[in-house]
Amino acid sequence: MGGSERRMLMYLSQLPRIRRMTNTTVRERALILCDGYFGTNAGKTANGLVRHSARYAIVGVVDRATAGADAGALLDGVPRNIPIVASLEEGIDRCRPDTVIIGASAHPAPTSRQVHGPRSRLL
């Protein structure tokens, strides 16, 4: 391990530790905004939260393209009783969230073709 790596590890070890939530019975009800990106690489935050969240009880996903489906069934084929709704208004009325989470990146990751040009190929 080089000197810069050692310094970085020492720095990281001095940062305060985040405590895990001990009261897992009370979780915030969250609606995820992921319009047009659910199930894609640009919707990684939404996808991860639907699969598992210790902090939030995910009660719905906003995505016009896949509205009407179950988020878990669409994502992994495992129904999770999380509805996908067409609008924020419908999500708030139907799901009654405590909070709303933006679950899509503003700038989706570029494809290999966009980065390397039209003749590139994925290995």
pLDDT over 90 (residue 65): yes
Summarize the confidence of residues 64-93 as an average pLDDT: 94
9 found inside a domain: no
Q: What is the pTM of this model?
A: 0.67
The number of folded domains in the chain is: 1
Give the model's pLDDT for residue 10.
Answer: 54
Where residue 41 falls among pLDDT bands split at 50, 70, 90?
confident
**Within-domain flag for 50:** yes
What would the mean pLDDT of 30-51 be, rounded to a whole number? Answer: 91
Which residue range forms the structural domain that includes residue 53?
A: 38-85+97-105
Q: At residue 107, does pLDDT exceed 60?
A: no
- Distance, in Å, from the CA atom of 81 to the CA atom of 54, rounded to the nearest integer, reads 17
